[in-house]
Structure 1
Amino acid sequence: MNVELLLSSIAKHISLTAEETAFFISLLQPARLCAGDFLLREGTVCRHASFITNGCLKNYSTDENGAEHIVDFLVEEWWADDLYSFFTATAAQCNIKAIEDTEVIQISKDDLELLYSEVPKFERFFRILFQNAYISQKRQINQILAAPAEERYLLFLKNKPYAEKRFTQKDIAAYLGVTPQFLSTLKKKINRVNVH
């Protein structure tokens, strides 16, 4: 279990003693997903918060026609979960699926509550984490609603420079809310502009 990445992420916000670190690690469980495996399925309860140490997942919902609507791509050093489902023990409204072979480190809700009571500074860490996730999601929603497709695409590439190498064109289109054909036309147009 590769905890170094998780511990360095935590160290940006709180400092832990050796004893606190050991207690935290004792609550963690590793999990591996092959590309195509689900971390979470819509309609099931999210039982773990999962930190990605290697790989990539997509968070999406499916409409009545079976079309995917991607909310986000989740990569190394990100957490993958449905927080509403996790905290309320209700059915998840989304799917989280590996698009590469992926390794995560998980903590259950019960163990997270135990961690809060034994090492209270973790409440600060997770508050910062959830706050940042909320702000990021709000910004993303506003951009998607307000910006034209070309601007959304360029912003997406700026925020996720690895996107073209790691995500399929179909998935990028589903994230941007356009068809793959439209995205292909858009990319050609942008490339023409960049060549001149």
Structure 2
Amino acid sequence: MDEMDLAIDCVRRVIPLTPEEGDYFSSLLRIRRIRKKQAIAQPGFPCKHRSYIAKGAMRAYLVDDEQRLMETVPKFERFFRIITQRGYAFLQQRLLSNLSKIRSDKRKKVDLS
């Protein structure tokens, strides 16, 4: 399975796409190979695209407006909203987990005194 198929499958797990919508989406994609420690975007320059990582991991990435895609295929508004909501929910869970761990560590220090 190539990178284009992986991207389309990722979207199809969230929203249903017709073959035409999938073809249109894949026509907007461009595959780039990024070397280790290479930046996708530079500070001070606006990011004009969205990046998907097919293999490996990145430290951070910026999201810009996907207006053209959402105007042509309105289903993608729902896709980007769901992905953003999932990320926000994960971030909240991580924050609460860290806060409860800090609270637990403080109690252990107090009990040892």
Q: With structure 1 as the length reference, what TM-score do the two structures score?
A: 0.47
Q: Which residue of 1 aligns with 2:98?
A: 144
Cα distance in 2 between the residues matched to 1:113 and 1:38 = 24
Structure 2 gaps of 5+ residues are 106-113
Shift of 1:44: 3.5
Deviation at 1:116, TM superposition (A): 0.9
Structure (1 or 2) with the larger CA radius of gyration: 2
- The structure-2 alpha-carbon separation of the partners of 1:20 and 1:45, relative to structure 1 and needing over 3 Å to count, comes to same
Residue in structure 2 matched with residue 187 of structure 1 by the alignment: none
Tell me the amino acid that sits aligned with residue 82 of structure 1: L
SS in 1 for 2:9: helix
SS in 2 for 1:52: coil
Question: Which amino acid is the alignment partner of residue 120 of structure 1?
Answer: P
Note if contact 2:8-2:26 (Cα within 8 Å) is conserved in structure 1: no
Aligned with residue 132 of structure 1, among 57, 67, 86: 86
> 1:5-84 alignment to 2 at 5 Å?
5-59=6-60, 81-83=61-63
The separation in 2 between residues aligned to 1:41 and 1:137, in whole angstroms, is: 25
How many residues are treated as equivalent by the alignment? 102
Cα deviation, 1:39-73, whole Å, max 9, x if unaligned, reads 234443232211111121113xxxxxxxxxxxxxx
CA–CA distance in structure 2, aligned partners of residues 8 and 120 of structure 1 = 18
Runs of 4+ in structure 1 deviating by more than 2 angstroms, as ranges, are: 40-47, 141-146
**In structure 2, what is the Cα distance between the partners aligned to 1:39 and 1:138?**
26
> Corresponding residue for 1:119?
73
Q: CA deviation at 1:118?
A: 1.3
Q: Give the 3-state SS of the residue equivalent to 2:32 in structure 1.
A: strand
Structure 1 vs Structure 2 CA RMSD: 2.0
1:171-193 Cα deviation digits (max 9, x unpaired): xxxxxxxxxxxxxxxxxxxxxxx
Name the SS for the 2:54 alignment partner. strand
Aligned partners of 1:144, 1:45: CA distance in 2, in Å?
32
Identical-residue share of aligned pairs (%):
30
SS of 1:57 mapped into structure 2: coil
Q: Which runs of 5+ in 1 are unaligned?
A: 60-80, 87-108, 152-196
The two structures have a TM-score, normalised by structure 2, of 0.76
Give the Cα–Cα distance (whole angstroms) in 2 for the partners of residues 129 and 114 of structure 1.
Answer: 18
Task: Choose between structure 1 and 2: higher helix proportion.
Answer: 2
More strand, by proportion: 1
